[in-house]
Structure 1
């Protein structure tokens, strides 16, 4: 609706115009009335009408004086003047101020309505023209920026920069993930946030929405604030990057490429941040780590390590091996796609090896293999590592503990942790729910040693360490699990070739 104000010192005229003209049907609404020029000026400032119907003769300030004052600050407002006399001089003075029409009181309804109809059509055409012009101006600005990021149209860009009167700039790039919102909707939303307050100019290039930021505004230098503002206004998943601050137009293309490269490497960074030149990848090679060891990455070695981790049932070791594999690949500067392919190769090689060695896990392996290629869909390295370790832990949970090799390895691990206790094969057989003689045979076949012999050797090896620490022979015997010191003495001499005292003397302690 177009806003109308009626200014007349006669209440009957004001009321008559309000009552007898079908304003809404004609596309207008009365937003206010005034009884003199001073009252009208104050209300004009507040109401900003599109049309004022003004009486020529009013006390203290005439209609012509009122029109003159308002026309000094507003060239778009329209006026219709009223007078009690059909005098040419009034009409001529009114027309100097671009008045739409001049009507003699009392106002004839049939005379005013055609004028209002013509005015409404004029406003509509003007509004459409302004809209088109604004759109063309915006499109031209965007075209200039789009060309400038490739190093073209620098002269036109300089004109735009001079017009903006900004001294420093930054490029912010946003890549929106697949969602129900179109880039046009998001772009429109960002325009309301940035362009209305002259914080930045919005443009699109390729799959990115870009913002040429006014870095003179201190708030735009706060990256956390920028992320929060975008997050509040984009109801979709996105990744964003920001360039360094620059002053020269020749730097725009370079800074755009820096921001673009950061987005292309988003796989290596965390979610929920705006990427910038100081951003740290989620996986880095720590100082002091041997670069030679990292650079000599062997896929078969990673698979072998994971096989062992699965066999001993250690989830933390599985996570560490997967993480280290990522470090190997990052140090060797492998691309996102190559890293995904390598992890797929690691998991498939591992599963095939396990399936060959464990005949009873075919169904689980097949199930996991059917999901291995989802590794390629992971958008972040952290997501990929979590997905891979989840698959391997699922494999770990399905491995049958009755497999003989796995069983013996568990026994060895148990011995190494508890050698100083009163460990017996009979006790283990009960715990593992196996026949003692069968379990002993499995152990002998795998290690080449009888259970008790293997246990004695573990105890003696640990006893040697304690002797070199200065402990007395009887103290060592007790700490490694021999209740009788003479028995320890005889076992030690059998496996070491000398007595505990001689070993202690001959290996550096007097």
Structure 2
């Protein structure tokens, strides 16, 4: 039963309300009574009520103030307002607060019963939607595990039966839909779109953690699958809420146990949005012309670093113009993985060359490069990086004090030794607290982060150019604790030292 709270500063009104309506006949229970707003709020804080009938004018707290406070506690509670006055300001404020109705005293029985009936319908609808959402969450989680091979066959079959899913058709394909990130679809809009997609092409659609639509198409033959893909494209084009979109089509498979292969292909194809125009259907056939295109014209990254250090904006921009030109030519096509790796190599080389002069946290930058959705977006990211470096270099050329420069020179020579603000303050005869503040002010980063980043870069050099064990390399660059070195390396680079070394050699 749904719980009702009656609120009025006149006890006789509450008794009359209790007698006026056969509450139980409507599936309702009068579970609370209050004689002022403060008393009512206390009950609402302790108990969850579905419906509140409240007077407007009461001592200590008005009915509208009560509603305002209650909305912060439970936005699902429905309010019906009672008043002895037809006051427009109260009605207007009540409507702004989302009340169900504004009834005048003495209350008309039929009007109250009709209002309560409408409120019950709303509550039941909300309850059904909550259950549907909960069911979708469980179903989506199960399908996500299937696509990532994180569920065994027996459990999958049991769960599929529970959610009445039948995916085993002669032909099955996973499609991945990525929409304009600026579309800013809220959870309700995403859920509505998912339902529309499922109904339109008789498919199963889930929403990934990245808010992509993952559609499992199933049919009797390839022709039927192609028709569903085209219907899906038409829907995406005609729906204005998505902005642009990319529709990546995985490989056809014959059983649900093979869906992961189809999903992996769709995910790989979705990276090609970097080089294709929006509103494109991306297939394996479309990307075949990129196979074997791994030889990128190598440019002098060191020269770009020199332009940065010399604060030569025009030459740095011209260098980038030439670099991006090779990726924008129709007769010289490169897959996204090659383009992104090129840009990551650029960032790492420039940063390494400029390390003694400026510091820039590259971990977040690499993440942005990997998530870039077009060449224009990628160029914006790299240009911003170069611009930030030049501006930082300009500031540091002017602002860096002789004491900080001396300390940096010492760090670059003695990074393998124990270094701390305390040891440096003693060596350079400066207060350690003041040194920490000055270091952060002039370099824009705290001392511990700077030394950690510098040591990680030195560790990378040794990992790439020597055969020493990773633990020994950690000690060579200043980490006395091997475990701490592994932890800091993975935090900074994203992989372990051994994994990074393997990636460089492959």
- TM-score for both structures, normalised by structure 2: 0.36
CA radius of gyration, larger in: 1
- TM-score for both structures, normalised by structure 1: 0.36
